[in-house]
Each structure stands twice: as structure tokens, then as C-alpha cells.
Amino acid sequence: MPQSIDTLIEARWIVPVEPDEVVLEDHAIAIDQGRIVTIETSIQAREQYSPQQIITLDQHVLTPGLINTHTHAAMTLFRGLADDLPLMEWLNKHIWPAEQHWGNESFVRSGTQLAIVEMLKSGTTCFNDMYYFPDVAAKAAQDYGIRAVIGLLMIEFPTPWAQSAEEYIRKGISVHDQVRNSELVSAAFAPHAPYTVSDGSLKKIQTLADELDIPIHMHVHETAHEIEESVKQHRVRPLERLSQLGLLTPRLLCVHMTQLLDSEIQVVAEHGVHVVHCPESNLKLASGTCPVQNLLDQGINVALGTDGAASNNDLDMLGELRSAALLAKGYSANPMAVPAHQALSMATINAARALGLDQHIGSLLPGKAADIIAIDLAHPSTQPVYDPIAQLVYSAGRDQVTDVWVNGRHTIKNRQHVDADIGGLLEEITELGIQIHQYDVQQST
């Protein structure tokens, strides 16, 4: 007698990511209670299972949900506020003043909701965030049905979230305790960067991360200026300073890493540190280029992120896949650098591994959470289809994402979000954007 299950999704192609480079044709994913039961041919699945619903997507490719491994979600409200500026001018003259003025709970709630809608509709089912009011971001993620790793921010100056190092840590631990039993939300420590966090705070964070068994998510070696200032102040480069403090462990996610010596790549590999590559943000801010293929050649786990929408200016992980693959080829003068399947892995299983979630998400395997996206390849820009993975990375656009499941729940159905009042949210964002722009103009003149 067929086994009763919740859902059977049939598709023209399924890319499970594990095993690597595998494409299954005319297969189906059986889902029950939010988990993948099995992946079989569509004929076998219909014989073995009695689903409550069958969804047939005969022109689509199914992949694991994309994981955005570095975001500042609420900064969608600063999208386009101060473009085409150097990083430190962008931060010091525009972003940080605006955050001090606008960065309250309401701002974070609206900006994070906007980011979540954008990410889900473009195929992202999990994001790793770093921003103020992480408790508000956590609630937005739960309310809107997306998986999230919420950063417990630490920065060594007062902000709307906290006034001292002690308060950042105390509040961060409280947020961790609030989400520790959530199905969708977990926490990671998020010290902003070596140049904004003291030695004492970094040591304390490392100790607490070990005790709580959570990752540490941090901007590292983002610009040449950061390196120069570290050498002046500490007499060592930032990675060496982190090494001396004991932070170079498999818990650490180093974001950007555009300024690396060969010897530093070796140290990162030896300590099992993860690297998060944000190609479009780095290109826009002219921060440098992460030597991704060199890192991969040394066995380093590299994940992908968009950074915030203020410096990207979108949260489109499909676009990031393409940029990562093309930039690696141009940087290394090697057309085989970061092939399509590798780029997809960086946005799925590699990202899950960096966040310590690879036993639950990042690939389509029995027992894992049913975080799945469907991309319609019956589109002029993705026809004909010789290799669905290459077509996904080099040709597909986020408008071709039609359906998204998070933990087995059909969150985006035929391109529509099932929970969000998008019209009302956009009205609110439009009005807020006018006010933010007026404030920025006043501050800049």
C-alpha cells in the first residue's frame, strides 16, 4: 500500500547538489512533515506514495534553496542612498550617520521584511544577517517563513542597539536564548570587523561561541586601508591578530577577504576557517577581489553572500552566482575557474557548511529539511537547455523563480508570497525612503 505523505513535487530536472554535478531527469521529491523522504523517478514515486498534493513542474529545475551567507537585511532601506563612493567615505559620511538617526526597531522591522520578500522571491531560503536589533530581525524571519542565522552584533561604539561592549554581549546572549529552539532561526556572534572590536571583546566572543556552539561571522581583510591601519595600530595584519587571539577556528566565517597573501591562504586552510565571498559588493566598492579559486585549490570552504543592498544594490543570489563564476575566471585568467556547479555549491552546501547547518539544509537528500526552489527554464533566455546547472548559473534570472518551499512550507507559490502584504509594505517603504533621502541631503550639505 502506498505511503501517505504531504507533498510530491515532480520536475523536469532536479539538481540535488550532493552528489556534485548530478542532474536527475523526470524525478520527484517526496516531502512529509517538512522533510525530504526520498527522490525517485516520477513513475516510482507515484507508485510508492500517496501524497495529499502533487505539484508537477515539467519545465522547471529544482535545487536546494539558495543561502545568502552575508547580509545586512535592514539596509535595504539605504538601497541607492550613497552610490559610487569609497567604502570609508560611504560609511563615515552617509551610512553610519543615517543609521544613528534612523536605526530604531521600526526601521529594522520594515527593512528586514522588505529584504525577506526580495530574497524569497529570488530563491533565497536562508540568510546570515549582521545588524542592529537582531531580535526584531529574528521575528521578521519567523513571521515571513524564511530560515535565518541572526547575527549577535558587536561593535566598539554606541549604537541604537547597545551602548557598551557588555551590553552588546548581554543582549546578544538574550537573543540567542530566545531563538535556540526555533525551527527556522538560529544565532551567530557577529563582531563587525577587527578594526571596530577590541582584543578583549574578541576573546570573550570566542569563549562564548565555544560555550554556546555557534559560529562567528565577521568582516575581515575587506580593503587595503584596513590592512594598513591594522599594521599601524597593532603591528600585524588583521588575520595575524585574529590568530594571536585564538579566533582562527572552523567556527569563523571571514567575509570579503579581498586582501590575502599566499601565506595567509595557507593559514586559513590549516585552521579550517570559512570564507564568504561577496563579489558584487566588492566590485561596486572597488574593495579588491577575493582569490576564490586559490582558496578552493587549498581546500578552503567558500560560500557566497550579497552583502547589504546599500552596497550591492540587490539581494539576488542568482546574480551573485553568475558574478562569482565570471569574476573568478577573469581574475585567474582561467576559464575553468569556479565552474557552474562549483558556484551553485558555494550558494548551497558550502554556505550551509559554513553556518554549521549542512546536516539540515544545503542539498536535497533524504532526511534534510525541504528547502527547495523551482526555476522555470521555459524562457527565451534559458532555451535550449543542454546543461541545467550551467543554464541556471549563466542564463537564468530571479524572475524565473516561480515556487519556494522552506521547511516543506510552500512560501512562494506561482511567484506570489503567501504571507506578506507586499502592497502595504511598499507604501510604507516609499514614504520612509523620502524621509531618509531628505535627511541624507541635509547632512551632506
Give me the phi and psi of 422, to 5 degrees please: -65, -40
- Is 363:64 a contact under the CB 8 Å cutoff? yes
The pLDDT tens digits for 141-178 are 999 999 999 999 999 999 889 999 999 999 999 999 99
Nearest to 100 by CA among 138, 132, 65, 55: 132
Is 411 in a helix, a strand, or coil? Answer: strand
The pLDDT tens digits for 32-89 are 999 999 999 999 999 999 999 999 999 999 999 999 999 999 999 999 998 998 878 8
Is 209 inside a domain boundary? yes
* pLDDT for res 173: 98
Same domain, 249 and 167: yes
Same domain, 75 and 54: no
Is 421 inside a domain boundary? no
Same domain, 274 and 330: yes
314 Rama sector, left if φ>0, alpha if ψ -120 to 50, beta otherwise: beta
Same domain, 171 and 41: no
Same domain, 314 and 275: yes
* Residue 8's CATH number: 2.30.40.10
pLDDT bin (cut points 50, 70, 90) of residue 108 is very high
pLDDT bin (cut points 50, 70, 90) of residue 339 is very high
261 Rama sector, left if φ>0, alpha if ψ -120 to 50, beta otherwise: beta
Same domain, 58 and 178: no
- Amino acid at the residue 426: L
Structural domain harbouring 32: 3-64+370-414
Same domain, 211 and 78: yes
* Residue 318's CATH number: 3.20.20.140
Same domain, 252 and 315: yes
What span, in angstroms and rounded, lies between the C-alpha atoms of 115 and 188? 19
Nearest 10 degrees: Cα torsion 402, 23, 343, 371: 50
pLDDT mean across residues, the chain: 96
Same domain, 160 and 303: yes
- Is 20:58 a contact under the CB 8 Å cutoff? no
The pLDDT tens digits for 195-244 are 999 999 999 999 999 999 999 999 999 999 999 999 999 999 999 999 99
Same domain, 83 and 56: no
Q: Please state the pTM of the whole predicted model.
A: 0.97
Q: How many domains does the chain have?
A: 2
